[in-house]
Amino acid sequence: MRRERESVIAVQPASSWKEEEATSGANMRIIGMDIHRNFAEAAALEDGVIKRLGRIGLTRQHLHDFARTLLPTDHVVVEATGNATAVTEIIAPHVARVAVANPLQVHLIAKAKTKTDAIDARVLAKLYAAGFLPEVWVPDEATLARRRQVTRRRQLVRQRVRLKSIIQSILHANLAPQCPFADLLGGKGRSWLKAQYLPDDEREAVERHVEEYDRLSDALKGVERDIARAALTDPDVKRLMTIPGIDMVVAVGVMAAIGRIGRFDSPDKLVAYIGLNPSVHQSGDSPAYHGRITKRGCSNARHLLVEAAWQTVRSPGPLRAFYERVRAKRGNHIAAVGVARKLAVLIWHLLTKGEDYKWVRPALHAKKVRDEPPRVCRRPQLLRGWGHGSEDEDVQQIFT
């Protein structure tokens, strides 16, 4: 579970569980856990007294042993970290409630000159008891699975881009001209690449990078096939794809970040969650100053919407008219970010009302959602031995 800065959604308001506790009359114990890679420091707050519980190993067996020592009326508080989801799943069946805190806001509320794991565990317990703990929304298992798939695809894409950059650096170091084709590792790009002069060791290095690039392409195609198989049965994903510029990748990525649209009361809440809202500075009688976007919250969804905005403005409609109006005053990039914010607002309305985009282009939408298996192309030839057969085009993506 990653922390999502400035995107706090309380799972259950502090007042609600306090009212339940007062009604039941039971003595509630609050367990604060400061989670690390290999261990967690735990402290218990009961009747206003803090008691150190010591360190717990972060293995499933140690966590199960610790969970069995807890009471059904206990409340456990942890910070959102990379392994917080697994910790929560093990402890939740044994206690009344598990709360996941926003680390950034916790540190803003409870800054201290002295910082230890034991102090952090006590701070979590005290903030929760006082009702001041900023919590984050805990996704359900289906949303977590979708987020993991989106993350895998993003990692594969980044690795492929990194390999292309390494090959470009090798060409640059050996005074090769700039590739005249858009895709260096496409069919024409590979033909151009094999004709360039490179020392033997450099050519062998390029060949290894191309082989790794092809392996990652095959893995990427498999991940995208799995994402498409699950996404095409989701009506919300299809609904988002009615918006020009939003394809399967963007729709699935945004839905993975949002989860349940009902947790956002207004479109402004969703915009702030994604980090596309402008920063505001105001003091005293001076007028408010609106600056750059905050860039807080879910960065992946923000990047996807900005990339989608560049495609959206290529289609006629109100979003393109808005882009042209802002571009004339503020420039291309600010206009594209403004369109991305409009897309977030539009997504909230479409999902909340259960309606498709009014300006949908039927032919384009049908092409996006066409449920057919990806074409299987032959493995592109490597640099070694080129020239003995026809060149193949790069692996065709299943997403338009």
Residues 23 and 112 in one domain: yes
Q: What is the pLDDT of residues 261-285, one digit of tens each?
A: 999 999 999 999 999 999 998 888 8
Q: Enumerate the β-bridge partners of residue 34.
A: 41
Residues 23 and 111 in one domain: yes
pLDDT band at 109 (very low <50, low <70, confident <90, very high): low
Per-residue pLDDT, 200: 95
Instruction: Please provide the size of the chain in residues.
Output: 400
Per-residue pLDDT, 375: 37
Q: Model-level pTM?
A: 0.77
Domain boundary (83, 102, 130) is at 130
Residues 238 and 352 in one domain: yes
Is there a contact between 53 and 44 (Cβ–Cβ < 8 Å)? yes
What is the total count of domains within the chain?
3
What one-character-per-residue DSSP string does 5-25 give? TT----SS-HHHHHHHHHHH-
33: Cβ contacts below 8 Å, ≥ 6 apart? 40, 41, 42, 56, 76, 77, 78, 87, 121, 124
Report the chain's mean pLDDT, rounded to a whole number.
84
Q: Is 339 among the domain residues?
A: yes
Give CA separation, 61 vs 31, 57, 66, 93, 259, in Å: 19, 9, 9, 15, 31
Residues 241 and 357 in one domain: yes
Q: What would the mean pLDDT of 150-175 be, rounded to a whole number?
A: 96
Residues 32 and 72 in one domain: yes
What percentage of the chain has pLDDT greater than the value 70?
A: 84
Q: Is 391 among the domain residues?
A: no
Residues 257 and 360 in one domain: yes
Residues 69 and 186 in one domain: no
How far does the chain reach from its first CA to its final CA, in angstroms? 30
Residues 100 and 204 in one domain: no
Domain boundary (211, 232, 253) is at 232
Domain boundary (197, 232, 267) is at 232
State how far the Cα of 384 lies from the Cα of 396, in Å rounded to an integer.
Answer: 23
Per-residue pLDDT, 362: 81
Q: Is 375 among the domain residues?
A: no
pLDDT at 384 over 80: no
199: Cβ contacts below 8 Å, ≥ 6 apart? 174
Q: What would the mean pLDDT of 153-167 be, rounded to a whole number?
A: 96
Q: What is the pLDDT of residues 280-308, one digit of tens each?
A: 988 888 898 888 999 988 899 999 999 99
Residues 90 and 113 in one domain: yes
Residues 114 and 146 in one domain: no
What percentage of the chain has pLDDT greater than the value 90?
A: 64
Q: Is 87 among the domain residues?
A: yes
pLDDT at 12 over 60: no
Domain span holding position 193: 141-232
State how far the Cα of 123 lies from the Cα of 136, in Å rounded to an integer.
Answer: 17
Q: Is 382 among the domain residues?
A: no
Per-residue pLDDT, 112: 67
Q: Is 2 among the domain residues?
A: no
Residues 277 and 293 in one domain: yes
Q: Is 399 among the domain residues?
A: no
Q: Is 387 among the domain residues?
A: no
Residues 245 and 356 in one domain: yes
Q: Count other C-beta atoms under 10 Å from residue 200's C-beta.
A: 7
Q: What would the mean pLDDT of 224-252 be, rounded to a whole number?
A: 91
pLDDT at 393 over 80: no
Q: What is the pLDDT of residues 18-60, one digit of tens each?
A: 444 433 434 689 999 999 989 999 999 998 899 999 999 999 9
Q: What is the pLDDT of residues 310-341, one digit of tens each?
A: 999 998 889 999 999 999 999 999 999 999 99
Task: Find the CATH number of the domain harbouring 18.
Answer: 3.30.420.260
Q: Count other C-beta atoms under 10 Å from residue 88's C-beta.
A: 17
Q: Count other C-beta atoms under 10 Å from residue 122's C-beta.
A: 21
